Structures are given as structure tokens and as C-alpha cells.
A and B are shown apart, each in its own frame.
Chain A
């Protein structure tokens, strides 16, 4: 089982697969050992990786040179190679079996149940793992209303961020009048948050689950046409989706008269043209129609008037991928997982300052501590944990004091953040929270469509104030203005993008106000991130006089003779930090 998710592919997993196939053939093992290319395994930090079944031995950080040795030792002689196994940080012995590794142990797989187990480009492997069983069950034994009721009973909520109850949305679309023109179901795969790759990995590892969910949903809602809106920046996901659709059509699972039931349904793929705002459902629908991707006011809601004015049920990739398992195992089973109000599991992409970067699926209600320390393996290089940013640019920063917060829709929004689509960026002590707020706001300001006043002008003014503060020109009055402005933008913006854009600012103001005040009053950034607030000096004892900094300095502010300690002229220094970056002897000190 060779992982072929995006992260492993970019680490040469296709070449490793080729080397593996060649080596196996060279040894005449091709009838004994099958090489399977799977979707993302989730443990992206140690890729490229592979799992040898049936024992479940996990190999990581492979190179093409490792392959001959691995084939000879493990496959021929039956001696697993310890050198290539995963060793948890701070421990001496490697963990051979995948399921014993902490990263995998605490996860609960529903959406990603087939990850690393099937080849996403082969429909037969999906079917062998009970794929399309739920569709067959739906079409042959269930009335559309029963399907809707099943989803309502399961308590499934939208995984795209807002957490609207999925069954209720289905019911609204089902009951909406279409004047006989037909209805649409739509899959939102326009994932664009910085540091988020859940939807991409789901499609890349199990595209049929999304298709099956959509077909079941279409049957329940009474839709004859489906749309998948996917980013053009996801070429691998797009290709696997296209392959999956072709295979499903060939098997009579998509198209007219599905499984002989008389139900007709087909799916059309629209590729996004790159605007983040097109992930907002009304903008997404405008984009599908071929118009400018801008949000429109609601009401009318898409469930009443969606694509081309017809009732449209819009769900996120992960929501659709949950559906087959709910139908197959029952609402009762599903609703036992999770908390009172948030049922099931959630996929998170764990990135930032964390040891085990990757994709995880956990039951709702798990604490942040469990995700970050038990699964994520904590912060690398012995640094201290500072905060976690959930929900991408729409979410907020949750501080270390709240590590035991359970992860569900309500707890996260009470903390000022949100579930979002599931990005989780871990920040360590070297992070400046003002700078983080500035970074995320810079992103939303850049991606604002410019239609409504608060988002177009408000985010720009907030960014202006944050830039002033990080450059040491902020005043306490600016801080009040910033807070007021953030509050009003959240209250009055037209769509979800603008309404949530101030969240990174509001949460950092709530939990890290002292850092803002430090920047304004003391003109200092204790994380040394805001360069305009730093003072660069050269430590004479450490300086070897290599002249490198003097040569790199754009202002020629550094002087000193060869092999003699250098010094920086503070009056001409522009605080670009280049001397600090280039010094190999750690002789430039930041104060």
C-alpha cells in the first residue's frame, strides 16, 4: 500500500512505487505481492510512506534507494526493516504496526474509512469495502422521505463550517416547489483556507464515497442533476473524481435508470477559477451559472432559489462523504458518536508547529489537548504551545489555557472561533499573535470580493491599523477603533467571508490583548516577529568578522574590518533582519 496523496506524491511516492514494482518483478514476487496506490494516509509529516499488509507494518520517509533492501529483507526473508519504521519523538524503539502508532490510535474513521486501504481509481475496491451498498439499500428499500428522516435522526451537521443540520436542509429542498423544472444537489469542493486540505484528501482517497452520498441525497431530495464545484488547483482530486464518475456510469450507478430503479441522476463538474469567495454558497452558484462569483443576499435561500433559480441543496465534500456510512449503519449508530449537539466525527488538517503534520479524523467532543498532544505528538524542538488557530481565516485563536476545550460546534464558537472546514494551525511560543491576526486578515482582505461596504472598506482599514501596530506606530486609540470596527464588520457584512473575517482579530484581542498593548506602549514584539520593532546588534564575542552581513546589508549600515567584530549603525539600519538571517555564527542579537 503506497500512499499517493498530494504530500507523498510531491515527495516522490510515484517513483518509489515504480522502484517497488520493478524490484518485486526482479525477484519474481509479482504473483505473491500486489502493489496498491492508495489515497492520503493522513500521516503526511513522515511521507513518503507505505504499509505492508496483512501485518500492517508502517514504513516512513522512504527513498528509492531503500526499496531493494526493504523488498529483500521484509518481503523475501520476512524480517521487517526497523530502520525505516516510525519512532515517536523522545523514544528509542520504533513502532512497527500502523495501528499502534499514537497518531492513528486515537482516530475514529468514518469519512476516511477507506484511506490507505483502497486504490481510489478502482471502483471494484470501493465496492469490496461495502461501497454502493448504501445506494442499493436506499433505492430498493427506502422511500425518499425515509432517507431524509434517517439523516435528520443521525444529527449530521454541515461540515463546511456553519454546521447547519444536513437533514433539515434536505427536507427544505425536498419540500421547495420547483414547478416541475427539477432541483439540484451541489457539492462544494472549493476548499481554500490556508493550511486546510481535508476535502482534497477525501476526494483523492475515496472519491466514490462523495459520489455515493450525492446520489443518495439526490434521490432523497428529488434532484435530477448534480454539480461538483472543485478548485482547479486540485488536479489530482479532479482527475480521480472524473475517473470515479466514468466508472460509476459504466456500472450503471450514475446516469439514467440507476440500478434499474427508474431513478435518473447525473453529475457535472465545474472547475473554480481561483477566487476564495466562490466557496460561499451563493457566490459558488453564481459561478456555476457562469456569472461573476459574488455572494447575493439571502433570502431567497438556495434551498428555494439556487442554481438557475431552482431549489438547490448545497453540501460540503465531507458532509456528502458521511452519508453512505450513515445509511449503511443507521442513524442510531451514527448518533451515538460525538456530543449532544455535534454528532459523528470531524476531519482536521493538523499543520503549523506540530510534530505530526497530517490529516486526522476524530470523534466530536475530543479535546484540543488530545488532538495536539496525543495525536499530533506535541510541539517540535521542545518549544511551548501558545495557541491553536481553528477554522482558517474565518476562525480564531484559542489560547493554551483552553487546551481542554471539547471540539464541537458550540464550544468552538463560544470561544470566539469556529469549526470552519477543519483547518487547525498550531502556534508555538515564537509566534506573534498580532502578526497572526495581520496575516489572516491580509488573506481575507485580499480575497474580499468588494461588493459590500464593511468587507471591502472595513477589512482594509483593519489591516491598515494592524500594519501600523506591527510597525510600532499604533496608538491605544487605534486599538479601540480596531475593536469597534471588527465588531461592526462582523455584524453587518453581507456574506460569511466578511462576517467571519474579524474573528482572528477579535479572538487575539480577547486572549492576547497584552501583546497588542506591548506593541503599542513598549514598541516591542517579544516574539521578535515584527521586525520594525526589533533592534539588531552584533555580539562582539561571537562575531568572527566574516563580513557576510556587511556584504548583504542593503543599507551598508554594517561596518568592521575583516576578522574583526562588526557593528551596526542604528541610524541607517532599516531593520530588514537580513543580517540576522545570513549570520552563521548566531552573532546578531535581536532586542
Chain B
């Protein structure tokens, strides 16, 4: 255990933790839209920037990947850190003005809107890459990817065709901070079209139940197994299947509510 100071509070954390983890453990909120504890730090949204005071001056670092050091002095809401956060928030708003999480953050940071031109007013994807990385690092399917470079970057499936690698586990919808990635009810049912051993349920593909043909004819919205998993686990099943860190995210609850509403 080592101790450091965040916003003037002395905090004791494990060695090797990141500043973000230390702050969250102490109840200090730092927005971090591209971060998920089951994934490698990505440090792309640049909203989690904090100011670290050093002997001569200070520097801005991303809290999601910077490990704590003993005696470190961190300020999460210094003028410099806030200016950086506000500017990046404003830039993200110009890309994805529809993203609810950005609007909520904007009102919290007292930003009335973006002064930059908005190209697509209906856009809600902030290109945080959580869906791409969860699919690659946790699910192991790599069914989603980025295409294009720089401002042309966009979210798509490999070679822009419907991906055969997708097991319809829904982990991407679960981690998406803006609800931009959605699962279509039919997506889960595409297994119905398959033949022989390929005809598996998403829970069997995740390794949570043994291989079985679906008695419910792949209508996941009315599946009992699905219902049981939802009731017994407090997180997305893929995290249980891969034995990684469990982290409830509100997006998944919203997803569940929507699915239930659809099936009702």
C-alpha cells in the first residue's frame, strides 16, 4: 500500500493502481469515457486528464493509464485540468452532439454547446473504441473494427460486411457509453439460419452452457436461460464467462429494459 494526495485528500491504495482507480475508490469522480477496467488502458478520449504536481512545475496526464507513485500530488479539478477537459468535451460534442453522456457532462462542466461546426447533428458515436476492444480483448471475436484514418475514422465491421464472427453476445452494447451501438433483435436470431454445430445459442458460444440446440427457436427475447442469466449475474455474462473484472454499467441496464419492453 502506498499513499498519495488527490484534491488535497490523503488516499491509500495498492501499488500499481492507476490514478483513476485510486480516485474512484475514494469517491472522486473523473469522467473517463474510453476506459473499462476489464480492458487495457486506451487513453483516447482525453477527458480523464488530471494535473500532477511535481518539484518543478506540473504536468497533465491521463489518469486512466498513469500508475500512482508514493507521495504523488494530484489535482483533478485544477484550472489547467478543467480547461483541457472542457476543450475535449467541446470537441467531442461537435462530433457527436446527440450523445446523452456528453450532454450530461457538458451541463456539469457548464458548457452551453460547442463553438465548432457540427457535421452530423444525429451522430452519437464518440469513437471511444470500447466496443471494438471488448469484442477483441474479452469476447475474442473481433467482429467490430475501426476504418478510416484521422477524422475519417468510423466504426464498422471488418471489410464492411455483416460479420460472421459476431456471436451476438451484446457485450458491445453493454459497454457503449453513449448507447450508440445497439443490438437488433434479429441479430441474435441469425443463428437460426445456420446449420449443424454452427447452430448454437450465444450463451453456448460464450461457454456458459454446454452445446445445445435452442428449444426456443432462437428467440432470445423470450428465452428462459437468458432470463436466468440476467437474474443471477449482476454484469454482462461475457465477463463471467471470461472471468474478468465485473463492472456494472448503466448502459446494460438500459439495454435490458429496452429488450424487456420490446418483448412485452
Query: Footprint of B on A, CB under 8 Å?
Result: 275, 292, 296-297, 299, 445-461, 464, 481, 484-485, 488, 491-494
Contacts and interface: CB of A to CB of B under 8 A. Distances in A.
B196 interface: no
A456 B148 CA distance: 12
Contact of B150 (A447, A484, A491): A447
Given A299-B65, A456-B127, A448 B41 contact: no
Interface of B: 41-47, 49, 60, 62, 65-67, 80, 83-84, 87-88, 91-92, 94-95, 115-117, 127, 129, 146, 148-153
B46 A492 contact: yes
A488 B67 CA distance: 23
A457 B95 contact: yes
Given A297-B65, A494-B43, A460 B88 contact: no
Contacts of A484: 87
Given A299-B65, A457-B91, A492 B148 contact: no
B152 A450 contact: yes
Contacts of B43: 296-297, 452, 494
Contact of A450 (B42, B84, B88, B150): B150
Contacts of B153: 449-451, 456
B95 A464 contact: no
User: What secondary structure prevails in chain A residues at the interface with B?
Assistant: helix
A448 B127 CA distance: 14
Contacts of A492: 46, 49, 60, 84, 87-88
A485 B87 contact: yes
A475 to B, nearest CB: 12
Contacts of B148: 450
A491 B60 contact: yes
Given A446-B150, A450-B149, A299 B116 contact: no
B151 A453 contact: no
Contacts of A461: 91, 94, 116-117
B60 A449 contact: no
Nearest to A292: B146
Contact of B87 (A451, A459, A488): A488
A493 B62 CA distance: 10
B78 to A, nearest CB: 12
B94 A452 contact: no
Q: Which of B60, B127, B148 neighbours the largest number of chain A CB atoms within 10 Å of its CB?
A: B127
Contact of B84 (A448, A456, A488): A488
Q: Which of B44, B47, B129 neighbours the largest number of chain A CB atoms within 10 Å of its CB?
A: B44
Contacts of B41: 297
Q: Which of A445, A451, A493 neighbours the largest number of chain B CB atoms within 10 Å of its CB?
A: A451
Nearest to A298: B65
18 contacts: A292-B146, A445-B151, A448-B150, A450-B127, A450-B150, A452-B43, A453-B47, A453-B88, A454-B87, A457-B94, A458-B87, A460-B151, A481-B115, A484-B87, A485-B87, A488-B83, A492-B87, A492-B88
A461 B151 CA distance: 10
B46 A454 contact: yes
B149 A494 contact: no
A156 B184 CA distance: 59
